[in-house]
Amino acid sequence: MVGGFRHVLVRYVSHTGQPLCAAIQSQLMAETRKSEDALIEWIRARSVARDASILLGIGDDMAMVRTGPEVLLTADMLMDGVDFDSARHAPDEIGRKALAVSLSDCAAMAVRPRWAVVSVALPDAWGMAEARGLHTGIERLAEEFEVRIVGGDTNSWKQPLVIDVTVLAEPWADIAPVTRSGMRPGDAIWVSGPLGGSLSGHHMSFRPRVREARALGAHYGNALHAMLDLSDGLSTDGHRMASASGCGIILEERQLHEAASDAAKEAARGDLEAIVKHVLDDGEDFELLFAVAGDAGEPPAVPNSDGARAARFVRIGVATGEPGLRVRGGDGTLRDVEAGGWQHFTERA
């Protein structure tokens, strides 16, 4: 055996023209060398198809998946300096958020995320470590929600990072997708968790409410009339739901205080009006805003993986026949609320 091994070793050295240790080192360098092909191969090796729905995964010009009769698609583009700050946030945090915002869209419609396609414009200054870190953040969240990465595109340029994630989803069994346009006058308006102050850290670490949305759909059935995720702020997204549904919303000021996050309260420094403004306008909450029939009762408790309640549902208002978004103060007076949250592609001071 010793002679046989020695014979193979001699032939290998002779064929490559370099010592064995140098050959091994060269191979290791090839595995970590900065290149599009090396990065794609690294991702492909970690994304081997593990279920029968994936007929063709990473490696061909297109992916092929086996779907049911209905498929829903969502796409979200995130940009450095707008949605995250690569000077403060690690690549894996950025990757996680990139997928999380698309999963939040799936939660908004109470559907099951299945497959994802990820496209990136990487900064030229990044190396393989940063690129792999970005994908690792995506991969970990995908595993948690049983989403398969089946393809994408990789580019690089001299500008900051841009990442785009497209998710394909399917309806859960016996739960119809929920739109934002079905709210009716008299509906109770709820949120799934604390609002405001997200930029203190929640905007990078939030948990998409996919499980909660499924539980709401199963619990309420047809009484769950409308839903969306609060990405741009309650004031902005509330107007969107009201406009899509052809009715309005009255928010109760006292309930907005109850819905405020600790970060919002801290930022307001005890000023009750400031707390309401943070709740309405800060955005990046990624909680669910939903409308249910007024007599449908309270939402179900939804435990997370640790057995604790994952969402803190708060009833914050009622749908009305009068268009627009208003807040009712403690003295009963109503005041109009403008859309003060985030807007892309708008004039800025």
What would the pLDDT profile of 163-182 be if each residue is shown by its tens digit? 999 999 999 999 999 999 99
The least confident of 174-183, 209-218, 300-309 is 300-309
What would the pLDDT profile of 97-154 be if each residue is shown by its tens digit? 999 999 999 999 999 999 999 999 999 999 999 999 999 999 999 999 999 999 999 9
What would the pLDDT profile of 13-47 be if each residue is shown by its tens digit? 334 444 445 444 444 444 568 998 898 898 888 87
Distance (Å, whole) CA 317 – CA 326? 10
Rounded to an integer, the average pLDDT of 307-320 is: 82
Distance (Å, whole) CA 93 – CA 78? 13
| Total domains in the fold of the chain | 2
Q: Does 139 share its domain with 217?
A: no
Q: Does 126 share its domain with 207?
A: no
Q: Is the pLDDT of residue 2 over 60?
A: no
Q: Does 154 share its domain with 227?
A: no
Q: Does 159 share its domain with 206?
A: no
Q: What is the CATH number of the domain that holds 223?
A: 3.90.650.10
Rounded to an integer, the average pLDDT of 193-207 is: 96
pLDDT confidence of residue 44: 84
Q: Is the pLDDT of residue 335 over 50?
A: yes
Residue 219 lies inside a defined structural domain of this protein? yes
Q: Is the pLDDT of residue 247 over 50?
A: yes
| Closest among 118, 119, 120, 109 to 71, alpha carbons compared | 109
| Closest among 121, 318, 289, 335 to 195, alpha carbons compared | 289
pLDDT confidence of residue 11: 34
pLDDT confidence of residue 305: 60
Q: Does 203 share its domain with 247?
A: yes
Q: What is the CATH number of the domain that holds 79?
A: 3.30.1330.10
Q: Does 328 share its domain with 252?
A: yes
DSSP string, 169-199: EEEPTT-PPP-SS---TT-EEEESS-BS-GG
Q: Which domain holds residue 266?
A: 188-336
Residue 78 lies inside a defined structural domain of this protein? yes
Residue 299 lies inside a defined structural domain of this protein? yes
pLDDT confidence of residue 150: 95
